[in-house]
Structure 1
């Protein structure tokens, strides 16, 4: 019993020593970093401008809770900039709440591999932090604040997390997802673009596609970004505008499903088969709609949607980028491990695309 009591005392003393040296700091001695921005410094080679958005703690959640500070530093590496930034503040920088990482658009013109390594190696950076590109710069985006914010950068967290707004134009990407796509063979990475606030409002309706060299290849407009979301099977509700054969109406979709298949025959070269099925209602029109013409309305809508899909997929082919991961599909259905990726790279630029769209309209709304 005496030996066990001595062991208990030694264990308790050891724990006290560990607690005394663990470096813990009270909350009032910390700055919580909620956003990190990386911009390229003009006219300076290999120099980056690092921006940190710091939440100012407040005991009152209503008054003053959205206050923040912006600190910046220029350096050759992120690690060096952070070390210098620590000397500019009177509290410890805590990155455990850094929920958004923004790359300036100028940064994406170069290979971003080395920049990404700092974020994925740090144990205090959440791998579920949102990733985005800032236009015109990451600093300008982080400086932004909307009137509805009660917590710094909360409007961006709500936008990407879909716990607030749910928009077909917003592509949400976690840090771990972006890194996986960036280093994948068979799929190119995509990031959403945040435009600096105008009239206290953020605008997130564009996207950037990266090439195999891990730098920006193309920038998608709002219509292309929405269609990319559809083809990724990430949304169900969109508005489809149809303007064809003297008919102009808007379809509000209720469900969307997309399936892909690489079809290979003995006599003809492989082709990509895209099958898209959507259901919805006619929500708005410039002319009178008739219940007995629902099949006709669905048919002309399918033609419009098919043309838009083909146009976007051909654009990806011409730029030799594959943000939808058709290369992964090819690898998953072919088992020549040494040559399948090389075969796909040769096949993709000239791959025939066959798109089939089935639009099922359930009604013309309350007014008939």
Structure 2
């Protein structure tokens, strides 16, 4: 009887040990990827794709918190297959927080790349996408402050921008949808590395053309203007100069409380003209003028006039830059397609866009009643 009991106990122990070992193998065989980047090197091989990943480490291996690894292969699928063979790990489904597209792969076009990524089950379509003007492994290898992992750090940076009224979080699904949209070209937030700090920061936007190829980039201030013209619900705080004609020279810092955009398209003898009309309500946050103690109520009308002039000039220069690069993130082609259907179906809009006459009319209503102390 005792031998039977002993045998039963041994069998139970072996069974439990096997179950535990199986559980360990499942964990060991999965690699949770929190960020990934893609780049190509056309001078070496146009079909070769570099695939960089950031994976968290667990247990005794967690001293470095993350592992950054780069593997190459033919096409996206080939690079990812090589990664799994090299690591002897399977990718955990739906854990990717961030996708970084490098300079070369973006310049060559992302239409096929985004389509391929969306068909890979391990890729979460709501992952944030950003553009990095270089090799993604350089930004993914950074170790941000406060022990944050790089994917989390960049996403929190984007969330902070949203709290500031600058919602630029573009997902893989958004990028693909914009690529397919008629009359609007895709864009991505652009991140660079702070010099001597090794900290990634939002530096502007990467604008793509209708083939999802890199058309041009915008700096931080230009990105604010583009966001303003996009007629989003929230708009970041902006600054304009007072020219000194009425109140003296200085700066006005303001925020947009509400805005409405209307786009009117006309075609005369095959020539396209577009008017962008912005009705804006804004709140003055701060006035910086020498020797000014209190801003009188009637001065707000002058602020509105000066701000409208400054914004019109800046936005006009921005639109000219977009036309020169032949990129249409404002979606003007959408309005052309709706308002001038016959002309649009002639198929010449994209060729005509760089030379189209585009006017900007900004009308501003300033919220009154706030006083400001002298700032300097």
**In which range does the TM-score fall when normalised by the shorter chain?**
0.7 to 0.9
Pairing 1:236–2:249 present:
no
Measure, in 2, the Cα distance between the counterparts of 1:236 and 1:310: 18
Give the CA deviation at 1:271: 3.0
Query: Given that residues 169 and 205 in structure 1 are in contact (C-alpha distance below 8 angstroms), is that contact kept between their aligned partners in structure 2?
Result: no
| 1:166 counterpart (163, 167, 178) | 163
Cross-structure match for 1:50: 51
Give the CA deviation at 1:24: 12
Q: Matches of residues 111-260 of structure 1 in structure 2 within 5 Å?
A: 111-160=109-158, 162=159, 166-167=163-164, 171-198=168-195, 199-234=197-232, 235-245=234-244, 246-260=248-262
Query: Given that residues 188 and 325 in structure 1 are in contact (C-alpha distance below 8 angstroms), is that contact kept between their aligned partners in structure 2?
Result: yes
Measure, in 2, the Cα distance between the counterparts of 1:307 and 1:164: 25
Give the CA deviation at 1:152: 4.8
Measure, in 1, the Cα distance between the counterparts of 2:346 and 2:231: 24
Pairing 1:310–2:316 present:
yes
Secondary structure (helix, strand or coil) at the match of 1:106 reads helix
Which blocks of at least 5 consecutive residues in structure 2 are unaligned?
1-22
Give the CA deviation at 1:135: 2.8
Give the CA deviation at 1:41: 2.7
Secondary structure (helix, strand or coil) at the match of 2:183 reads coil
Greater alpha carbon shift after TM alignment, 278-287 vs 201-210:
278-287
Q: Matches of residues 15-54 of structure 1 in structure 2 within 5 Å?
A: 26-41=26-41, 43-46=43-46, 47-54=48-55
Query: Given that residues 96 and 124 in structure 1 are in contact (C-alpha distance below 8 angstroms), is that contact kept between their aligned partners in structure 2?
Result: yes
Q: Matches of residues 269-348 of structure 1 in structure 2 within 5 Å?
A: 270-287=273-290, 288=292, 289-291=294-296, 292-336=298-342, 339-340=344-345, 342=347, 344-345=349-350, 347-348=352-353
* Cα distance change on mapping 1:285 and 1:164 into 2, 3 Å: closer
Q: TM-score, normalised by structure 2?
A: 0.80
- The alignment covers a number of residue pairs equal to 341
Query: Given that residues 66 and 150 in structure 1 are in contact (C-alpha distance below 8 angstroms), is that contact kept between their aligned partners in structure 2?
Result: no
Give the CA deviation at 1:347: 4.9
Give the CA deviation at 1:192: 1.4
Which blocks of at least 5 consecutive residues in structure 1 are unaligned?
1-22
Give the CA deviation at 1:236: 2.7
* Cα distance change on mapping 1:258 and 1:247 into 2, 3 Å: farther
Cross-structure match for 1:354: 360
Measure, in 2, the Cα distance between the counterparts of 1:44 and 1:52: 21
Give the CA deviation at 1:89: 2.2
Measure, in 2, the Cα distance between the counterparts of 1:98 and 1:197: 24
Give the CA deviation at 1:100: 1.1
Query: Given that residues 111 and 211 in structure 2 are in contact (C-alpha distance below 8 angstroms), is that contact kept between their aligned partners in structure 1?
Result: no
Measure, in 2, the Cα distance between the counterparts of 1:90 and 1:27: 12
Measure, in 1, the Cα distance between the counterparts of 2:372 and 2:130: 40
Measure, in 1, the Cα distance between the counterparts of 2:155 and 2:214: 24
Q: TM-score, normalised by structure 1?
A: 0.82
Give the CA deviation at 1:25: 6.8
Give the CA deviation at 1:359: 4.1
Q: What per-residue deviation string (whole Å, max 9, x for no partner) do you get for residues 14-38 of structure 1? A: xxxxxxxxx9974454210111111
Secondary structure (helix, strand or coil) at the match of 2:309 reads helix
Measure, in 2, the Cα distance between the counterparts of 1:181 and 1:24: 42
Greater alpha carbon shift after TM alignment, 258-267 vs 248-257:
258-267
Cross-structure match for 2:19: none
Q: What per-residue deviation string (whole Å, max 9, x for no partner) do you get for residues 182-218 of structure 1? A: 2333111111111135414221121111123331111
Measure, in 2, the Cα distance between the counterparts of 1:284 and 1:204: 27
Greater helix content: 2
Cross-structure match for 2:84: 86
* Cα distance change on mapping 1:54 and 1:331 into 2, 3 Å: same
